[in-house]
Chains A and B, each alone.
Chain A
Amino acid sequence: MNKLFAILVFAILQWALSFLMGWFSILPAAIVVVLIFKLEGKSSWFIPFLGVFFGWGLWMLFLDYQSDFHLSHRLAMLVQQSGFFAYLIPLVLGGLVAALTGRLTCQIVRVAH
């Protein structure tokens, strides 16, 4: 339950910060969530990753829905792939960056202790 809550906090935090920082908002969101929820081990990796996956995923889905799913289809035409790729690329890449940030924060906390 606590982990689900952490994912939710990450998603909201990165959304709020994105107005100031664009996509970089996933970095401070990951740091804050790891520190607040004292995430360690695999959690420090997976929770920011899933936070991006759900946060961005729902956001994209909302934008796509408004266009009758025309948007993801047209976006993926950039690489001549199906609309699925318009989701997959940013979710995986953003997830990895957030996960790396979370894991690094966790490591730094450990070193500091």
Chain B
Amino acid sequence: MKKFLSVGVMTVLLVAACYFSHKGIRLSEEVRIPGLLRILSPSHGLWQNYDDEYFTKSESISLSGPNSEIRVYFDDRKVPHIFADTDEDVLFAQGYIVASQRLWQMDFLSRVAEGTLSEVFGKPTLKNDLMMRKYGLKYGAEQAIKDWEKNDHRDKLYISYENGINAYINRVLNNTEELPYEFKLANYKPRLWNAYLTALVSKYMAFTLCRRHEDIAATNTRELLGDSLYQHLFLKKDQNQIPVIREHSGEAFQAKRSKPADAEYRGYLKEMTVLKQQDKGIGSNNWAISGSMSKTGSPILANDPHLGLSLPSIWFENHIHTPSMNAYGVTIPGIPGMPIGFNDDIAFGSTNVGQDVLDLFTINWTNKEEGKYKVNGQERTAEMYEEVIKIRNKPDLTYKQYITEYGPIMYESRSDGADLAVHWLAHLPLNPNEISVFFNILKCKDYDCYKRETGKFSAPAQNFIFASNNGDIGIRINGKLPIKYENEGRFVKNGNQIENKWSEFIPRTANPQTLNPSLGFVSSANQITIDSFGLNFNGGFENYRGRRINNLLEKSTKKLDHQDMMDFQQDAFSIKASEMLPVLLKNLKRDTLDAFQKELLTTLENWDYVYNAESQAPPLFESWSQLFQSFVWDEMHNDSISYMKPSIWRTLELIDLEPSHTLFDHLETEKIEDAIDNINLSFGQLTTAYRSKESKNWKERNRVSINHLLNIPGYSKYELDVNGCGDALNAVKGGFGPSWRMVVELGENPKAWAIYPGGQSGNPLSKYYDNMIDDWAKGEYYELSFKDEDYFKSNHLFSRTILPDNE
């Protein structure tokens, strides 16, 4: 009996040990230990995922898909140089190679956009999935592929790219020990790639770049302040701003749309919890100088898109070559082609436009259960379906989703208030040719071709910059630009009349552009596009970086070279600080300051407004600035209601022109304060806070970090030693910053220098996972190997020859 009992106990123990060693143990809702033997056994676990050794051996592989032999040479940074005979083959190879290095990232990004992370990661990612479903990215991707599938051209080129990705996916599905690291860690397998997943990655970019909506906050703020005061604080034009297009060289167009009566919702939207907003204080830069300004006599183009920094990086560097094309640049894994790069004849890049293309509409239900609501006095029925979110090891979460004439319901009222539907460019049918834009531009040799191809791009609208060997420089705003009345979309709109919805766009031929302006340069930094034109751009535009680029280029007295362009990209000077700090200092009463306060004051007075990582003045200024603003705009602070705050330039204007405005008075005190009182009170509070703590330098305050997409600490980089801030050209802020720095010097043989904070491999075990970060932080660049095949035949780390499998 005792023996039987012993066998029974041991059997139970063994089964339990095997189960937990394979499946893992859930410690809490948030924490799960993966199956340790599954992931750490040497046979199929992560020990098999070290691929650097494999990727030092050159080999030939046979794959079904390509029509002829494709040669791929990897250089010492693991950048692939792909040589193929046809467009289809080069895209096949691009898909295959990108997938071989970044497959998990591609799958992850598509799941983020689709809102299906919980299907593989369980409840911890449910909040993110719910938010993405509310934004309707899945709905937007479904709309996009309906149009893409109509396009015959897509069938040839896109399908080659898709086949390349799937050739790699099939390889890892058949050899599970080769499954990328994170698939093994979370114990799931990749899905076969298709146009829908590419559309999701594209929608993820739209989510990153054009989801800004302050409609709820603006509506609440106007309700709090009243029309007149709101206008006084928020609707003035910054006279210092310099638009992207200073000399429009395209077709003249005057957009006209009049504001319908009763267009905007009036009242508080107190119970709406605003979904995660686009991050502020970051942005991208690009500029191009003509040959007349450069040392070489040829144009130079610089571009540094600033995005959320992650590991793996959003960019993958590659060089692709066919008999009709030779291009180098960065691609977004999952999207064919390259949005930023250069070829033998031209260089190109982009920054985000930032126009407000997401508007909210109240929906007045007559019977929500049946999806009935009223528009123009008539009852309409919303499209309804069950939205199902699968949660690993948990029951599915289902809720009813409604698609109204304005778009999907994005905000649901928690009591009797109206729900809000979203009318967003990212949901609308797009140009069917859009999927091949970033491939077709690689073949362009002049501005006309570049203009034609980028003109097919829909969203998010970009400032597409250009420079060519024949001496042209230009910038064109491409993307669908809605025709709006002045300030349309600033506030939540009434959904009771369909006229309130914008539905027309500026003709593509009339999109703002400039070619070879008299200034000798073109530039953009997400600032307002153009002063006139009747476009009524209503965006969250920053002016400081745009002004800084213009200042640096306009005031330059010498001929510039690529090193100057790099120095400009690293520039950490803040115009905002240079304008605000003198105002604060001028109005500070010094007679009552003690020794400690005087010491802090000296630090600030001696500051050159450059955000150096080691400098102590920037955090001091930032703290003072924030305290001052919270003192001044205390009316517009409430933990439970979303409000806006006026911009810094407007605050400074008010201090100068109306220092005794009632808004400067504190709500909590009996005394009536003015602007000067606020400056002194905030300095007092600042010094009180500093007395009890050690002074920090800028890098301790602006903790620049690059997280692994799953936030695994060991595979993330923290507290990088980087100069810059959100308002400087080197716009580095927390987890945001220059995601790719590129300088291209055109000429008979174009030369280029670039770097991005990451590495070519998406594998956390690889030496090429984060090998460029330290150099990026130091501000260094790599000269790019833009050479012919003969060079790479004898200069490569390893190579892959992809042979067509004709069986």
Where the two chains meet, the residues of A that have a C-beta atom closer than 8 Å to any C-beta of B are 15, 18-19, 22-25, 27, 56, 59-60, 63, 66-67, 70-71, 74-80, 86, 89-90, 93-94, 96-97, 100-101, 103-104, 107-108, 110-111
Q: Is B765 within 8 A of A74, CB to CB?
A: yes
When A67-B52, A71-B765, A75-B765 are in contact, do A96 and B42 touch as well, CB less than 8 Å? no
Q: What's the minimum C-beta distance from B318 to chain A, rounded to whole angstroms?
A: 25
When A18-B43, A60-B47, A97-B17 are in contact, do A104 and B37 touch as well, CB less than 8 Å? no
Cβ of A75: which chain B residues have Cβ within 8 Å of it?
A: 40, 46-47, 765
CA distance A77 to B37 in the complex (A): 17
When A103-B10, A111-B7 are in contact, do A25 and B43 touch as well, CB less than 8 Å? yes
CA distance A93 to B19 in the complex (A): 12
Interface status of B38 (Cβ within 8 A of chain A): yes
Interface of A is mostly: helix
CA distance A78 to B715 in the complex (A): 7
Interface size class of B (residues with CB under 8 A): 35 or more
CA distance A27 to B40 in the complex (A): 16
Q: What's the minimum C-beta distance from B220 to chain A, rounded to whole angstroms?
A: 44
Cβ of B185: which chain A residues have Cβ within 8 Å of it?
A: 78
Q: Is B7 within 8 A of A107, CB to CB?
A: yes
15 contacts between A and B (CB under 8 A): A18-B41, A22-B41, A66-B50, A70-B50, A75-B765, A76-B714, A78-B714, A80-B713, A90-B37, A90-B45, A94-B37, A94-B41, A100-B17, A107-B6, A107-B10
Q: Of residues A19, A74, A101, which shows the largest number of chain B Cβ atoms within 10 Å of its Cβ?
A: A74
Interface status of B21 (Cβ within 8 A of chain A): yes
Q: Is A97 within 8 A of B40, CB to CB?
A: no
Q: Which of A66, A76, A93, A100 contacts B13 (CB 8 A)?
A: A100
Assuming A22-B38, A100-B13, A100-B17, what are 14 further A-B pairs, CB within 8 angstroms?
A: A23-B21, A59-B42, A59-B47, A63-B50, A67-B53, A77-B715, A90-B40, A90-B41, A90-B42, A90-B45, A94-B41, A97-B17, A104-B11, A107-B7
Contact bitstring B182-193, A, C-beta under 8 A = 1, else 0:
000100000000
Cβ of A25: which chain B residues have Cβ within 8 Å of it?
A: 43
Q: Is B765 within 8 A of A107, CB to CB?
A: no
Cβ of A27: which chain B residues have Cβ within 8 Å of it?
A: 18
Cβ of B42: which chain A residues have Cβ within 8 Å of it?
A: 56, 59-60, 63, 90
Where the two chains meet, the residues of B that have a C-beta atom closer than 8 Å to any C-beta of A are 3-4, 6-7, 10-11, 13-14, 17-18, 21-22, 36-38, 40-48, 50, 52-53, 185, 712-715, 764-765, 767
Q: Which of A18, A22, A93 contacts B36 (CB 8 A)?
A: A93
Q: Is B50 within 8 A of A67, CB to CB?
A: yes
Cβ of A56: which chain B residues have Cβ within 8 Å of it?
A: 41-42
When A60-B42, A67-B50 are in contact, do A104 and B3 touch as well, CB less than 8 Å? no
Which residue of chain A is the closest to B765 with respect to CB atoms? A74
Q: What's the minimum C-beta distance from B767 to chain A, rounded to whole angstroms?
A: 6
CA distance A111 to B11 in the complex (A): 14
Cβ of B45: which chain A residues have Cβ within 8 Å of it?
A: 23, 90
CA distance A22 to B6 in the complex (A): 28
Cβ of A108: which chain B residues have Cβ within 8 Å of it?
A: 7
Q: What's the minimum C-beta distance from A98 to chain B, rounded to whole angstroms?
A: 10
Interface of B is mostly: helix
Q: Is B21 within 8 A of A93, CB to CB?
A: yes
Cβ of A66: which chain B residues have Cβ within 8 Å of it?
A: 50, 53
Q: What's the minimum C-beta distance from B177 to chain A, rounded to whole angstroms?
A: 9
Q: Is B41 within 8 A of A110, CB to CB?
A: no
Cβ of B10: which chain A residues have Cβ within 8 Å of it?
A: 100, 103-104, 107
Cβ of A18: which chain B residues have Cβ within 8 Å of it?
A: 41, 43-44
Cβ of A59: which chain B residues have Cβ within 8 Å of it?
A: 42-43, 47
Q: What's the minimum C-beta distance from B613 to chain A, rounded to whole angstroms?
A: 24
Q: Of residues A75, A86, A89, which shows the largest number of chain B Cβ atoms within 10 Å of its Cβ?
A: A75
Q: What's the minimum C-beta distance from B210 to chain A, rounded to whole angstroms?
A: 36
Q: What's the minimum C-beta distance from A54 to chain B, rounded to whole angstroms?
A: 12
Which residue of chain B is the closest to A55 with respect to CB atoms? B42
Cβ of A89: which chain B residues have Cβ within 8 Å of it?
A: 36, 40
When A67-B52, A74-B765, A75-B765 are in contact, do A111 and B13 touch as well, CB less than 8 Å? no
CA distance A89 to B45 in the complex (A): 13
Q: Is A71 within 8 A of B50, CB to CB?
A: yes
Q: What's the minimum C-beta distance from A25 to chain B, rounded to whole angstroms?
A: 7
Cβ of A60: which chain B residues have Cβ within 8 Å of it?
A: 42, 47
Cβ of A101: which chain B residues have Cβ within 8 Å of it?
A: 14
Cβ of A86: which chain B residues have Cβ within 8 Å of it?
A: 40, 47
Q: What's the minimum C-beta distance from A34 to chain B, rounded to whole angstroms?
A: 13
Q: Is B14 within 8 A of A104, CB to CB?
A: yes
Cβ of B764: which chain A residues have Cβ within 8 Å of it?
A: 74, 77
CA distance A57 to B17 in the complex (A): 20
Cβ of A80: which chain B residues have Cβ within 8 Å of it?
A: 713-714
Cβ of B40: which chain A residues have Cβ within 8 Å of it?
A: 75, 86, 89-90, 93
Cβ of A63: which chain B residues have Cβ within 8 Å of it?
A: 42, 47-48, 50
Cβ of B50: which chain A residues have Cβ within 8 Å of it?
A: 63, 66-67, 70-71, 74
CA distance A1 to B44 in the complex (A): 31
CA distance A107 to B5 in the complex (A): 10
CA distance A89 to B33 in the complex (A): 13
Q: What's the minimum C-beta distance from A113 to chain B, rounded to whole angstroms?
A: 10
CA distance A29 to B125 in the complex (A): 39
Q: Which of B6, B11, B44, B52 contacts A23 (CB 8 A)?
A: B44
Cβ of B43: which chain A residues have Cβ within 8 Å of it?
A: 15, 18-19, 22-23, 25, 59
When A71-B50, A101-B14 are in contact, do A107 and B41 touch as well, CB less than 8 Å? no
Cβ of A78: which chain B residues have Cβ within 8 Å of it?
A: 185, 712, 714-715
Q: What's the minimum C-beta distance from A21 to chain B, rounded to whole angstroms?
A: 9
Q: What's the minimum C-beta distance from A79 to chain B, rounded to whole angstroms?
A: 7
Which residue of chain A is the closest to B34 with respect to CB atoms? A78
Q: Which of B3, B17, B48, B712 contacts A111 (CB 8 A)?
A: B3
Q: What's the minimum C-beta distance from A57 to chain B, rounded to whole angstroms?
A: 9
Q: Is A77 within 8 A of B714, CB to CB?
A: yes
When A22-B41, A71-B765, A104-B7 are in contact, do A97 and B46 touch as well, CB less than 8 Å? no
CA distance A22 to B35 in the complex (A): 13
4 A-B pairs with least C-beta separation: A77-B714, A23-B41, A18-B43, A90-B40
Which residue of chain A is the closest to B54 with respect to CB atoms? A66
Q: Of residues B41, B42, B713, B764, which shows the largest number of chain A Cβ atoms within 10 Å of its Cβ?
A: B42
